[in-house]
């Protein structure tokens, strides 16, 4: 098992506070997309591209000036995962099975820009440069769990070839492989990656969310971004007790801006039948502060429009936050 010390050159601990905001007055509707939307990315011009998938079917969608267009996909993206570039103009999804995986890339006009073979299924990805992409190996093999981050270089033959493989820079020697490999990554400026673990734990009183990292693979620098814990009401603790200290998904979806902001759709305790809710967006300002923004509905996806967060609700409503 690799440890983060192998990659760590500089570590900065973020001091955070958690602030509440009035959600209903803070959101502006900018469009609608399929209600089964799983991902969305936006360019600075406001053009959006994403995909929707459920048991009824799957489709790419584009949103431009409030007008939504769709294009069918022949299969659902593996793990409902995607990769995108820092400019928000390209989205790539993996399709197929292990050994026959294809990486399909499209722009915000729904024009196919590439169809590339991959040797493993992708569970998240980030296009840092036109010819450099980092992906998370979702094959579930021992190697993928110990070193899930894979650098791919595009060759002259228009293929993506593996050039490096790393453990998550946040992974500790005592962490279970699953904790280290269940991560999302997003591109940021200056070749940095936001590395966002998805699994946290219940310690008997609070939900402890995983620490996020901003990692530069080129020089090994790493900034730790702690995420505040959430107390579980005493009336709900018995519900969570069977999961005591076990890895549990506490981050539903995430996003990062080019300038260093991070957004997380948090999985929160609830007394509803499902036992959880995801109607809060947590925003890290890139420096020291977390803000908690309550959304008017449950959330499916999140992205940044420049430095402004945008969410998609479970009804397919696309909302832009107005701080």
Asked if pLDDT for residue 58 goes beyond 70, the answer is yes
Tell me what percent of the residues of the chain surpass a pLDDT of 70.
Answer: 90
Taking the CA of residue 62 as centre, how many other CA atoms within 13 Å lie in the half-sphere pointing to its CB?
18
Mean pLDDT, rounded, of the chain: 89
Q: Which pLDDT value is given to residue 190?
A: 87
Burial class (CB in 10 A: 0-12, 13-18, 19+), 52: buried
Residue 212: Cβ within 10 Å count = 25
**What tens digit of pLDDT does each residue of 94-135 get?**
999 766 899 999 999 999 998 999 989 999 999 999 999 999
Residue 30: Cβ within 10 Å count = 17
Which among 290, 310, 291 is positioned nearest to 300, based on CA atoms? 310
**What tens digit of pLDDT does each residue of 255-304 get?**
999 999 999 999 998 876 666 799 999 999 999 899 999 999 999 999 99
Could you tell me the two tokens for 73? 């996909």
Number of H helices, E strands in the chain: 3, 32
> Cβ contacts of residue 310 below 8 Å, gap of 6+?
30, 40, 42, 48, 302, 303, 304, 318, 319, 320, 321
Asked if pLDDT for residue 15 goes beyond 60, the answer is no
Asked if pLDDT for residue 17 goes beyond 60, the answer is no
* DSSP-based three-state secondary structure for 179: helix
Q: Give the dihedral of Cα atoms 176, 96, 76, 73; nearest 10 deg.
A: 150
Q: Which pLDDT value is given to residue 10?
A: 29
> What are the sequence ranges of the domains in the chain?
4-321
Higher pLDDT, 167 or 143: 167
**What tens digit of pLDDT does each residue of 199-244 get?**
999 999 999 999 999 999 999 999 999 999 999 999 889 888 998 9
Asked if pLDDT for residue 161 goes beyond 60, the answer is yes
Instruction: For residue 16, name the pLDDT band (cuts at 50, 70, 90).
Output: very low
Asked if pLDDT for residue 19 goes beyond 70, the answer is no
The CATH code that applies to domain 4-321 is 2.120.10.30
């Amino acid at each position: 098992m690799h440890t983060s010390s192998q990659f760590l050159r500089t570590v900065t601990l973020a001091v955070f506070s958690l602030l509440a905001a009035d959600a209903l007055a803070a959101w502006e509707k900018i469009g609608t997309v399929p209600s089964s939307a799983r991902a969305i990315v936006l360019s600075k011009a406001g053009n959006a591209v994403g995909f929707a998938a459920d048991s009824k079917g799957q489709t790419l969608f584009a949103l431009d000036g409030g007008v939504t267009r769709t294009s069918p996909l022949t299969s659902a993206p593996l793990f409902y995962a995607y990769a995108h570039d820092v400019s928000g103009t390209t989205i790539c999804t993996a399709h197929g099975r292990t050994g026959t995986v294809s990486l399909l890339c499209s722009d915000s006009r729904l024009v196919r820009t590439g169809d590339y073979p991959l040797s493993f299924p992708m569970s998240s990805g980030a296009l840092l440069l036109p010819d450099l992409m980092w992906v998370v190996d979702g094959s579930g093999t021992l190697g993928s769990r110990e070193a899930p981050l894979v650098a791919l270089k595009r060759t002259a033959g228009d293929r993506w070839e593996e050039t490096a493989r790393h453990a998550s820079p946040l992974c500790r020697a005592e962490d279970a492989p699953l904790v280290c490999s269940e991560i999302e990554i997003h591109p940021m400026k200056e070749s940095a990656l936001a590395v966002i673990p998805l699994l946290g734990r219940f310690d008997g009183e609070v939900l402890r969310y995983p620490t996020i990292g901003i990692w530069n693979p080129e020089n090994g620098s790493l900034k730790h971004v702690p995420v505040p814990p959430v107390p579980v009401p005493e009336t709900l603790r018995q519900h969570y007790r069977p999961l005591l200290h076990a890895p549990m998904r506490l981050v539903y979806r995430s996003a990062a801006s080019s300038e260093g902001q991070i957004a997380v759709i948090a999985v929160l305790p609830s007394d509803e039948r499902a036992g959880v809710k995801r109607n809060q967006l947590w925003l890290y300002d890139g420096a020291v502060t977390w803000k908690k923004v309550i959304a008017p509905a449950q959330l499916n996806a999140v992205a940044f429009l420049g430095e402004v967060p945008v969410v998609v609700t479970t009804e397919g409503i696309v909302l832009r936050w107005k701080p």
